[in-house]
Amino acid sequence: MIDIYNRLHNFVQQDLWREDLRARTWWGAQCIRGLRVILVLWRDITSGQLTLRAMGLVYTSLLSLVPLLAVSFSMLKAFGVHNQVQPLLEQFLSPLGPMGKDLTLHVLGFVDKVEVGVLGTLGLTLLIFTVIALIQKIEDSFNYVWRTKRSRSLHRRFGDYLSVIMVGPVLVFSALGLTAAITSTVLVKKLLAIEPFGSVMLFLSTLMPYILIISAFTFVYIFVPNTRVHLKSAFIGAVVAGILWQVTGIIFTSFAASSTSYEAIYSGFAILVMFMIWLYLSWLILLFGSQVAYYHQHPQQIRRFARQLRLSNRLKEHVGLLIMSLVASHYVRGDKPLTLDKLVACLELPADVIDEILDNLKRENFLSENAEDPPGHLPSRDLESISLIELIHALRCAEEHIHIVDESLLDIAEVTQIMTQISNNTDEALNGLTLKNLVSKETLATSILSEEHLK
């Protein structure tokens, strides 16, 4: 028994990660890749970061639930579809059992009493600010999953968030109402009486909750993170999260029905406790699905250890020169400036690694951003005025302004002499070369930056 355990442990910790997928059959490679993904996802869950952020979203959701529904409710009232909010909220809270219906009535009672028109400018501003703060918190959590350090700009937050909060519910409920109206027509009823149309519609109606949840999750995974998420990756993450959400809801319903001890302990607060638990599980599942989408889009991040990829100084210089060459080549050809996402797709390196080098190049005035969103990168100066000597020195001396060291303590004559000689040899090898020399003959831009990378 101990021998079996040791062999299994060695396989999970070492052998699984040493397998060469290219030497395997397609099915064998997919099985190994699937096992790696499962282990990495389990590691991410048990590390505590996803659970911690899910807990933070529960707190923010409780504070912002009524304001969020109030803003959306006011728009739905204007279009006459506000009556459909209750069934949707009841469906979300259905795992709570009878308590879910009571909670729905309480929440909608609060929302119905909020008169947006009489709040005044300050009250309306605070209401909208609370709602945007909730979505900002959600975006920060998804940006963490996608290793994105930058949030949306202030004007994009208002534009994107308010459009989803106000216009989104109207479009969704209008579409649901239109679908219900179409299915209730005489022609459709006659078609449903004919086989196999009736069986197909019955099957689709059974799948409808899953289809709606997966569609909603797919939209969230594409829209919320401040980075480009591929539709296929978002869909795969949404399928995993949607199935998990439905299965968890069934299990939680049984748990809520049998947990009479909660009512005995918490009395009137039992409904709030159960709601918080369900809200926590929902956020955790949503973040978990986003993690699945991230690993599908970035398979190079499926690694044995969770440590952030750190480039050596040599590779930082190499990648820095690559980035400057690609940006400059695009600039010379008059192509659209490269964004962070396109550089990630081209170089197949994590976004945080490339972003760190980009920040250094912008800080040293080699690159600048345009006003687009997401921003594209352009050379800050004429290509002939950017010498490769100063570019290499900037890449080598990155972050020295942060970690200040007293160089007098490092002044050993022999070591200083060698370091000076290395620097002089580098200057001599790069003497007279500028960034223009790297792109004058379409060097590596044509061999690396293919259209396939930039789709």
- Region label for 120, one of left (φ > 0), alpha (ψ between -120 and 50) or beta (otherwise): left
Say if residue 118 is exposed, middle or buried (CB neighbours under 10 Å; 0-12, 13-18, 19+): exposed
Q: Is 174 a residue whose pLDDT tops 80?
A: no
Alpha helical stretches, state H, 114-196: 120-145, 154-156, 162, 168-183, 186-192
| pLDDT at position 450 | 45
Do residues 51 and 45 make contact, with C-beta atoms less than 8 angstroms apart? yes
Structure tokens at 319: 């990648």
Do residues 402 and 393 make contact, with C-beta atoms less than 8 angstroms apart? no
User: Of the candidates 274, 213, 275, 219, which has an alpha carbon nearest to the alpha carbon of residue 247?
Assistant: 213
Whole-number percent of the chain with pLDDT over 70: 67
| pLDDT at position 235 | 93
Looking only at Cα atoms, what is the longest distance across the chain?
Answer: 95
69 vs 338, more confident: 338
- Span 414-439, mean pLDDT? 80
Q: Compute CA distances 114 → 123, 140, 177, 393, 433, whole Å.
A: 11, 29, 25, 61, 67
Torsion of CA 303, 309, 314, 316, to 10 degrees: 130
445 — pLDDT class (breaks 50, 70, 90): very low
Residue-wise pLDDT tens digits, 176-190: 555 555 555 555 556
Distance CA 219, CA 168 (A): 11
Q: 107-111, 132-136, 396-400: which has the highest mean pLDDT?
A: 132-136
Lowest-confidence range among 2-11, 121-130, 177-186, 199-208? 177-186
Return the CATH fold of 313-448.
Answer: Arc Repressor Mutant, subunit A (1.10.10)
Q: Which residues of 142-180 are buried (b: 16+ CB within 10 A; e: fewer)?
A: bbbbbbbeeebeeeebeebbbebbbeebbebbeeeeeee
Q: Is 97 a residue whose pLDDT tops 90?
A: no
- Span 236-255, mean pLDDT? 87
Say if residue 338 is exposed, middle or buried (CB neighbours under 10 Å; 0-12, 13-18, 19+): buried
Lowest-confidence range among 68-77, 239-248, 288-297, 370-379? 68-77
Q: Which residues pair with 369 in a beta bridge?
A: 377
| pLDDT at position 444 | 45
Q: Compute CA distances 417 → 350, 410, 423, whole Å.
A: 37, 12, 10
Which residues are CB-contacts of 260 (< 8 A; sequence separation ≥ 6)?
none
- Span 317-328, mean pLDDT? 88
User: Of the candidates 275, 325, 308, 276, which has an alpha carbon nearest to the alpha carbon of residue 448?
Assistant: 325
Q: Is 266 a residue whose pLDDT tops 60?
A: no
DSSP state of 194: S
404 vs 391, more confident: 391
Q: The tokens 């709040």 sit on which residue? A: 119
Q: Is 322 a residue whose pLDDT tops 70?
A: yes
- Span 231-248, mean pLDDT? 90
- Span 357-378, mean pLDDT? 86
Mean pLDDT, all residues of the chain: 75
| pLDDT at position 447 | 44
- Span 237-257, mean pLDDT? 85
DSSP state of 369: E
Q: Is 159 a residue whose pLDDT tops 50?
A: yes
Q: Is 289 a residue whose pLDDT tops 90?
A: yes
| pLDDT at position 238 | 92
Q: Which residues pair with 387 in a beta bridge?
A: 434
Parse the chain into domains and list their residue ranges.
2-47, 49-301, 313-448
Say if residue 195 is exposed, middle or buried (CB neighbours under 10 Å; 0-12, 13-18, 19+): exposed
What would the DSSP string read from start to end of 282-324?
Answer: HHHHHHHHHHHHHHHH-GGG--SS-SPP---HHHHHHHHHHHH
- Span 11-39, mean pLDDT? 75
| pLDDT at position 330 | 85
Distance CA 442, CA 447 (A): 9
- Span 103-110, mean pLDDT? 72
- Span 411-417, mean pLDDT? 76
284 vs 88, more confident: 284
In 333-382, beta strands by DSSP E: 367-369, 377-379
Distance CA 130, CA 70 (A): 11
Q: Is 171 a residue whose pLDDT tops 70?
A: no
At position 53, the amino acid (one-letter code) is R
At position 218, the amino acid (one-letter code) is T
117 — pLDDT class (breaks 50, 70, 90): low
Distance CA 237, CA 225 (A): 14
Q: Which residues of 269-285 are buried (b: 16+ CB within 10 A; e: fewer)?
A: ebbeebbbbbbbbbbbb
Whole-number percent of the chain with pLDDT over 90: 5
- Span 56-60, mean pLDDT? 86
What would the DSSP string read from start to end of 195-233?
Answer: TTHHHHHHHHHHHHHHHHHHHHHHHHHHHSSSS---HHH
Do residues 224 and 139 make contact, with C-beta atoms less than 8 angstroms apart? yes
Structure tokens at 238: 């949404």
CA angle 65, 71, 74 (to 5 degrees): 130
DSSP state of 407: G
Do residues 172 and 212 make contact, with C-beta atoms less than 8 angstroms apart? no
How many CB atoms lie under 10 A from the CB of residue 450? Answer: 11
